């Protein structure tokens, strides 16, 4: 198991919890430590409780666990929310001068630090969280200079005075603990020479879009997709692009479609409720053969559900939404780096096959910040494939005997050429109506069949020529097979270590392609037991796998609104392996 430290800061919404947590995460990244973060919102207790949690280790960390070592608690509520995760070696940093009498659970060490007064001495009460970070440095044996670097990044833009005050506040916290406590909880945070970047899944999607040449984004704000729009705003302009906040998702997808008809690489992103509205236009994207990337950052449904909670409940929607039969690709990145690479792949697939591509992520991945070596996003490895985009010269090949552009030409691979406006002799109409090769409406039976077959043939071509590989972890010869999609990968990979410790061999297959998807028949036949893990109640991916392989699988489903944790998954897998296979 990784030598990990689990740290959290919690309080009321408005206490600056997010930025405090992020500063500490950045300090750890500067120290060459890996970081995996998660965010808690009000759950067991009503109100504005929020927490930022960090798991850190020298080795890669990819999951949260049910253990908390250091807790910065700005409210009693923070302690109550996390009481199950505290243990004998835990330390709780709190401010005894505040109006509450901290109720510290048995065994945990109370570290009472006058956060507010120390902050005031350093220049302002607003810095009390920074005092707490200084205290946390002392308890964990972490050099406060790394915190300085993070403070410079965070406050550098506000002038050197502010930076100096914050550094002083951090030192005040550190020195207070040094002077008043003689703690030996055994935490001694090792540092390395590595230097990591820290980002979340939505930032990775946004960055992937920019790398892929996306120049137009239209969206309507919705948690947890909005941060993609926020990331692109202010950055996409540097490349000549633009972000529009549309009046609704009906408009957003149609604007994105329009930009794509103009020849731009274009994207929209939303979450389930927005996908419902956008569904209206899916068929048009497909029949007009428009390259478009549609991102769904899933959250808990149905309806408004639990809007700030994790779920993977939109798989069926991504696969099937839209009336009639809508050819599409569905790609679901499994990690934050994959959010970047699969976004680029999505843009290439869209333009190579003139087809909608659904990029399906989820809330957990969108808010988790994780460290990576910058090479994980090596821009030199970015490839752009614009498919059969023709220019003035290329048009000729696709004109009919009367000089008309065959925008929906029936081809062997099913892929027709694409001419953008301004291309001489390329003028043509595309439509949601069934049409002939020229895009003109038709209801002739043979034309209809030719176009439907052609569109489906594109998907066949893609199936046969693109890579739809899965990601393979653990023992490839293990009798036990666990299959997952989307963001559960990290927790599963770490669960393997727990299982190994218990002498249980497991192979994990993590599937980033939902359609087309890898055929897992052989893998499932080779295993004695197969379990499909996903964050929904009904097992939508498990259904798909059973359908593909004609084999019953076991299921682990979580729909509490909280992502899987590594230790919890190891336990669940162990339990399931001893159960009967469902009939």
Partner 1 sequence: MSSDVRFTDFKSDKQPTWCPGCGDFGTMNGMMKALAGTGNDPDNTFVVAGIGCSGKIGTYMHSYALHGVHGRALPVGTGVKMARPDIEVMVAGGDGDGYSIGAGHFVHAVRRNVDMSYVVMDNRIYGLTKGQASPTSRSDFETSTTPEGPQQPPVNPLALALASGATFIAQSFASDALRHQEIVEAAIEHDGFGFVNVFSPCVTFNDVDTYDYFRDTLVDLEEAGHDPNDYESAKEVILDADKEYQGVMYQDEQSVPYHEQHGVTEDMSEIPDGAPEDAMDLVREFY
- Which two structure tokens, joined as six digits, stand for 332? 């679901």
Nearer to partner 1, 161 or 441 (CB): 441
Instruction: Specify the 3-state DSSP secondary structure of 184.
Output: coil
- The least distance separating partner 1 from the CB of residue 385, rounded to whole angstroms, comes to 9
Show the tokens assigned to 82: 């996390």
Any idea how long the chain is? 583
**Cβ nearer to partner 1, comparing 215 with 454:** 215
Would you say 302 and 538 are in contact if contact means Cβ atoms under 8 Å apart?
Answer: no
Shortest Cβ distance from residue 500 to partner 1 (Å)?
Answer: 32
Ranges of beta strands (E only) in 271-403 are: 292-298, 329-331, 356-362, 369-372, 389-390
Cβ distance to partner 1 smaller for residue 420 or 463: 420
Cα(2)–Cα(495) distance, integer angstroms: 12
Joined together, the tokens standing for residue 34 give 């890996």
455 CB burial (10 A radius; 0-12, 13-18, 19+): buried
Kindly give, in sequence order, each residue whose CB lies less than 8 Å from that of residue 22, ignoring residues fewer than 6 positions away. Answer: 37, 52, 154, 198, 369
**Euclidean distance between the first and final Cα of the chain, in Å?**
36
Q: Which residue number, 49 or 341, has a Cβ lying nearer to partner 1?
A: 341
Cβ distance to partner 1 smaller for residue 98 or 153:
153
Q: Pick from 381, 405, 402, 383: which is nearest to 394 by CA?
A: 405
| Rounded distance between C-alpha atoms, residue 38 and residue 227, angstroms | 16
| Cβ proximity to partner 1, 14 vs 240, nearer residue | 240
Of 102 and 389, the one with the shorter C-beta distance to partner 1 is 389
Cα–Cα distance for residue pair 23/133, rounded to 1 Å: 9
Would you say 341 or 564 has its CB closer to partner 1? 341
Label each residue of 480-534 as H, E or C.
EEEEEEHHHHHHHHHHHHHHHHCCCCEEEEEECEEECCCCCHHHHHHCCEEEEEE
Q: Which residue's CB is nearer to partner 1, number 354 or number 540? A: 354
Strand 369-372 versus strand 265-270 pairing type:
unpaired
């Amino acid at each position: 198991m990784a030598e990990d430290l689990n740290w959290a800061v919690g309080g009321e919404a408005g206490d600056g919890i997010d930025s405090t947590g992020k500063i500490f995460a950045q300090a750890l990244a500067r120290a060459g430590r890996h970081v995996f973060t998660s965010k808690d919102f009000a759950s067991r207790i009503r109100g504005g409780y929020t927490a930022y949690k960090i798991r850190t280790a020298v080795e890669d960390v990819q999951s949260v666990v049910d253990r908390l070592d250091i807790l910065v608690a700005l409210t009693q509520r923070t302690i109550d929310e996390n009481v199950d995760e505290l243990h004998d070696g835990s330390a709780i940093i709190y401010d005894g001068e505040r109006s509450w009498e901290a109720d510290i659970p048995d065994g945990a060490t109370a570290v009472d630090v006058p956060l507010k007064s120390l902050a005031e001495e350093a220049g302002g009460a607003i810095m009390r969280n920074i005092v707490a970070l200084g205290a946390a440095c002392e308890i964990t044996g972490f050099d406060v200079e790394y915190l300085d670097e993070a403070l410079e990044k965070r406050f550098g833009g506000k002038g050197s005075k502010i930076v100096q005050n914050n550094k002083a506040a951090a030192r005040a916290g550190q020195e207070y603990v040094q002077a008043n406590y003689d703690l030996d909880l055994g935490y001694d945070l090792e540092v390395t020479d590595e230097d990591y970047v820290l980002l979340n899944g939505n930032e990775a999607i946004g960055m992937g879009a920019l790398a892929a040449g996306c120049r137009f984004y239209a969206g309507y704000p919705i948690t947890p997709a909005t941060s993609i729009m926020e990331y692109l705003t202010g950055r996409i302009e540097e490349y000549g692009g633009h972000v529009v906040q549309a009046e609704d998702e009906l408009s957003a997808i149609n604007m994105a479609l329009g930009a794509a008809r103009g020849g731009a690489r274009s994207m929209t992103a939303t979450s389930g409720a927005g996908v419902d509205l956008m569904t209206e236009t899916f068929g048009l994207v497909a029949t007009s053969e428009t390259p478009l990337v549609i991102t769904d950052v899933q959250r808990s449904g149905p309806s408004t559900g639990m809007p700030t909670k994790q779920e993977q409940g939109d798989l069926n929607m991504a696969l099937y939404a839209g009336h009639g039969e809508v050819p599409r690709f569905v790609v679901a990145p499994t990690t934050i780096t994959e959010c970047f690479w699969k976004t680029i792949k999505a843009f290439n697939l869209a333009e190579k096959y003139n087809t909608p591509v659904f990029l399906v992520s989820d809330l957990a991945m969108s808010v988790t910040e994780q460290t990576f070596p910058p090479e994980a996003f090596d821009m030199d490895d970015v490839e752009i494939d614009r498919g059969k985009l023709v220019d003035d010269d290329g048009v000729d090949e696709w004109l009919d005997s009367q000089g008309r552009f065959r925008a929906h030409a029936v081809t062997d691979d099913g892929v027709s050429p694409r001419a953008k406006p301004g291309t001489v002799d390329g003028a043509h109409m595309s439509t949601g109506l069934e049409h002939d090769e020229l895009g003109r409406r038709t209801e002739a039976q043979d034309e209809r069949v030719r176009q439907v077959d052609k569109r489906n043939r594109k998907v066949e071509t893609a199936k046969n020529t693109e890579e739809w590989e899965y990601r393979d972890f653990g023992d490839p010869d293990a009798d036990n097979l666990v299959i997952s999609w989307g963001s559960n990968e990290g927790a599963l990979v770490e669960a393997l270590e727990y299982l190994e410790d218990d002498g249980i061999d497991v192979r994990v297959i993590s599937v980033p392609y939902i359609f087309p998807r890898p055929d897992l028949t052989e893998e499932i036949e080779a295993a004695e037991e197969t379990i499909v893990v996903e964050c929904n109640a009904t097992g939508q991916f498990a259904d798909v796998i059973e359908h593909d392989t004609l084999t019953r699988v076991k299921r682990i489903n979580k729909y509490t609104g909280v992502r899987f944790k590594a230790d919890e998954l190891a336990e669940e897998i162990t339990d399931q392996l001893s159960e009967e296979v469902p009939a």
